[in-house]
Amino acid sequence: MIQEKDRIIIGEFAKRVRRRCPNARIRAFGSRVRGDATWESDFDVCVILDNPMTGTEAIIQQFAWEVGFEHGCVFNWLLFSQEELEKGPLSESALIRNILCEGVTT
């Protein structure tokens, strides 16, 4: 189960992303969500947008760096459009199934 301090850090990342992309859906997944993270584990997050615009990746990267720097951690983030997630080639991948099954919406 996700620890409260990790929930706060992920929540800060989500808040910053939503300031620029109000309709963003953000799912945290991986060891931090499962509760088996170590001190060196990164934060795995998936950002889902209806239609990502040019430059969105740079914005998300900046927020991931800022929040990570402030909290002494590293974010490993992915960006998908809703269509890619539902119908793209990766939609059948183990990664996407993992994000959707174990992921926690923030």
pLDDT tens digits for range 21-33: 999 999 999 999 9
For 40, residues 6+ apart whose C-beta sits below 8 A from its C-beta are none
Q: Which domains does the chain have, with CATH numbers?
A: 4-105 (3.30.460.10)
**Residue 90 pLDDT exceeds 90:** no
Strand ranges inside 1-106, DSSP E: 25-29, 43-49, 75-81, 104-105
Looking at residue 29, its pLDDT comes to 96
Rounded average pLDDT over 48-75: 95
| 22 CB burial (10 A radius; 0-12, 13-18, 19+) | exposed
Count of H helices and E strands in the chain? 5, 4
Mean pLDDT of the chain: 94
pTM equals: 0.92
